[in-house]
Structure 1
């Protein structure tokens, strides 16, 4: 077989290997998009190097044994800026801790894709708009803290369907309308 016929399979071989590293790159790209939307005056995200294979060596990021992001801990980090839809790509994320910053804008509906999420802490920011209905899809959520922001509109009824919810903090916002009935949430300890 002539040499030019041998080389055709090499690109296919490389493509077959790609899924091994794609997850880390996808998650790194998602977190890098978030970083690009932020003003980080204290340089807490200095270690977030987008050229690395995955973000598991970055400060404030925790990964599982499969090198998938399970935690982002940026509470009280002095960050301002906005949340980005790409955060919804962190499919194994369990804890998103962004409390006590100066984040503004809306909660992207894509955060409803984070079905492994156990804790979403966005309290004490300057977030506004309505709480997306998609957060009701977070069936593993135990802690939802959205207090001390500037949310408006109705509290989504979908939040009352998250049966594992233990803590739900919504106070000090600008909600209108009637609150959903949360009494059927048997595990709810703090409302």
Structure 2
């Protein structure tokens, strides 16, 4: 009986992690591929190249396929942050000294593009007006898989999609796998 209880107690203190690795820092540096969906066009394939330097993230997103608000913006810059889950939260065993959820966290990214349009005012003079469009991406997962949502206002490739992408609050989902 003593051996059985000791074995049970020691088993309860053992740890495992999703992905089989613990005490590995959450880091999103690298190449990612996946699917982005929007409310008008549906799915498009994407790749992202991200650099995570201590939680400060920069990168680029490339969209493949003709039917996306993001097609044509392969050089759009992404900026944001990556945050590792803290110890003793969901997925971590508080009875161990290891942090089993260390490879999990969240990522918040934004993409900004300025569109400058030349218009003619009432006096017949040309004026340039610049509008800034911002899309945010909120993702969670681990260093191998991220899922989440995006939203904002985007002007999209001209001329077909621009009107649909300009709707304030356009949104969708995004799923990424590290490649």
Structure with the bigger percentage of strand: 2
Structure with the bigger percentage of helix: 1
Same fold (TM over 0.5): no
Structure possessing the higher radius of gyration over alpha carbons: 2
TM-score (normalised: structure 2): 0.28
